[in-house]
């Protein structure tokens, strides 16, 4: 009797095994199914446009050629656009990163209520960009802006051109600072107050503490934040276009004029410029990753 019962139980268990196997497979596939919408969205709005840009950058007069790239390097106007964009992006990232680091370092010494209010304001101001930001700068620092007129009356400045190189640099620095603060704020939690106290007891000055302890610990975060700020600046379009109406030569303005201009439409040339811009950002990111890996290795 017991043998028959065991045989029956074995048959039931063996019949249930395929069902259990299917359930386990479904459980494994469920997370994958949830990723499918994101993958489709990523392909449609990231990979597909990138593939289109790369392919069309090699089409010149309806044939495969490097003519678009040769035209880019032969054009002093396009090279000037790259130079202006790189100059403004580099210095706005450096200055914005320095100011953001100082502000985050100061926030750590404030009470929680003030710190939360500053972070909330920073989060809000990080989204204040584009046309509204350009309009605000025109009102404040334009030719007849409120602050410009006050500084002229005080004799501090004779003239300030918001629509030139230094005016654009001021605009870029402004929208780099909130983003830098939000990115660096969690990184400063790695610094322990005990380290500062121990360094002070050993006779180290605040400057020596930051040079030997603080900055080396924060180096990966600082380098990563710099790359993000640099990419954020070099890809900016709406603010500079609204401020200068396209009269200042920036590489994003050149790309837009080639795909939506009123006179000459050269989307393939714009694609070649975009590929070079992507390659430049990829190179900067690769250098950043190399520096970050070295900083972790020597930490």
130: CATH = 1.10.3720.10
Name the residue range of residue 79's domain: 68-297
96 within 8 A of 177, measured Cβ to Cβ: yes
Flag whether 216 is in a domain: yes
Q: How open is the CA angle 216-220-221, to the nearest 5 degrees?
A: 105
250 within 8 A of 171, measured Cβ to Cβ: no
Residue where one domain finishes, among candidates 36, 57, 78: 57
144, 19: one domain: no
Alpha carbons 184 and 99: distance in angstroms, whole number: 11
Flag whether 126 is in a domain: yes
| Phi, psi at 59, each rounded to 5° | -95, 120
49, 157: one domain: no
* pLDDT number for residue 5: 46
- Rg, C-alpha atoms of the chain: 28
126, 222: one domain: yes
Alpha carbons 205 and 199: distance in angstroms, whole number: 8
Which contacts of 2-6 are long-range, i.e. CB under 8 A and separated by 24 or more positions?
none
Over residues 101-118, mean pLDDT: 84
Confidence of residue 17 (pLDDT cuts 50, 70, 90): low
* pLDDT number for residue 13: 47
Q: How many helices (H) and strands (E) does the chain have?
A: 14, 0
132, 221: one domain: yes
Collapsing DSSP to helix, strand or coil, 231 comes out as: helix
Residue 136: pLDDT over 50: yes
Over residues 192-218, mean pLDDT: 82
88, 211: one domain: yes
Question: Bigger pLDDT: 89 or 289?
Answer: 89
Q: Is 130 left (phi over 0), alpha (psi -120 to 50) or beta?
A: left
281, 169: one domain: yes
Flag whether 122 is in a domain: yes
* pLDDT number for residue 131: 82
Flag whether 63 is in a domain: no
Flag whether 139 is in a domain: yes
User: Domain count of the chain?
Assistant: 2
Question: Bigger pLDDT: 251 or 123?
Answer: 251
158-201: per-residue pLDDT in tens? 777 888 888 899 999 998 999 898 888 888 877 887 888 888 88
Flag whether 271 is in a domain: yes
Flag whether 45 is in a domain: yes
- The DSSP 8-state label assigned to residue 109 in this structure reads T
The pair of three-digit structure tokens given for residue 234, joined into one six-digit string? 């070099």
Confidence of residue 263 (pLDDT cuts 50, 70, 90): low
Residue 94: pLDDT over 90: yes
29, 96: one domain: no
Over residues 68-95, mean pLDDT: 92
Residue 88: pLDDT over 90: yes
Calculate helix-pair angle for 112-125, 165-184, nearest 10 degrees.
Answer: 130
270-297: per-residue pLDDT in tens? 999 999 998 988 888 888 777 767 655 5
Give the residue carrying structure tokens 């089409």. 59
120, 254: one domain: yes
Flag whether 20 is in a domain: yes
* pLDDT number for residue 19: 60
Question: Bigger pLDDT: 2 or 226?
Answer: 226
Alpha carbons 212 and 208: distance in angstroms, whole number: 6
109, 79: one domain: yes
Over residues 237-253, mean pLDDT: 86
Question: Bigger pLDDT: 93 or 263?
Answer: 93
């Amino acid at each position: 009797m017991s043998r028959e019962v065991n045989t029956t139980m074995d048959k039931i268990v063996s019949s249930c095994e395929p069902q259990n196997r299917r359930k386990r497979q479904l459980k494994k596939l469920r997370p994958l199914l949830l990723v499918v919408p994101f993958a489709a969205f990523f392909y449609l709005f990231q990979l597909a446009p990138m593939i289109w840009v790369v392919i069309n950058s090699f089409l010149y007069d309806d044939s495969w050629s490097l003519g678009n790239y040769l035209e880019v390097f032969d054009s002093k106007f396009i090279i000037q656009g790259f130079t202006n964009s790189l100059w403004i992006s580099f210095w706005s990232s450096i200055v914005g990163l320095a100011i953001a680091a100082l502000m985050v370092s100061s926030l750590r010494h404030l009470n929680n209520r003030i710190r939360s209010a500053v972070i909330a304001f920073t989060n809000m101001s990080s989204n204040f960009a584009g046309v509204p930001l350009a309009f605000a700068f025109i009102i404040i620092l334009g030719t007849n802006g409120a602050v410009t007129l006050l500084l002229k009356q005080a004799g501090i400045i004779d003239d300030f051109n918001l629509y030139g190189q230094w005016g654009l640099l001021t605009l870029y620095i402004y929208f780099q600072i909130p983003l830098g603060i939000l990115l660096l704020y969690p990184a400063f939690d790695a610094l322990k107050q005990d380290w500062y106290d121990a360094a002070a007891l050993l006779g180290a000055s605040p400057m020596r503490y930051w040079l030997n302890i603080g900055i080396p610990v924060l180096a990966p975060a600082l380098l990563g934040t710099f790359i993000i700020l640099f990419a954020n600046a070099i890809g900016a379009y709406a603010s500079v276009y609204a401020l200068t109406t396209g009269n200042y030569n920036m590489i994003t303005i050149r790309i837009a004029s080639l795909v939506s201009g009123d006179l000459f439409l050269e989307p393939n040339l714009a694609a070649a410029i975009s590929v070079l811009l992507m390659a430049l950002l990829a190179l900067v990111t690769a250098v950043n990753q190399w520096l970050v890996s070295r900083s972790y290795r020597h930490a």
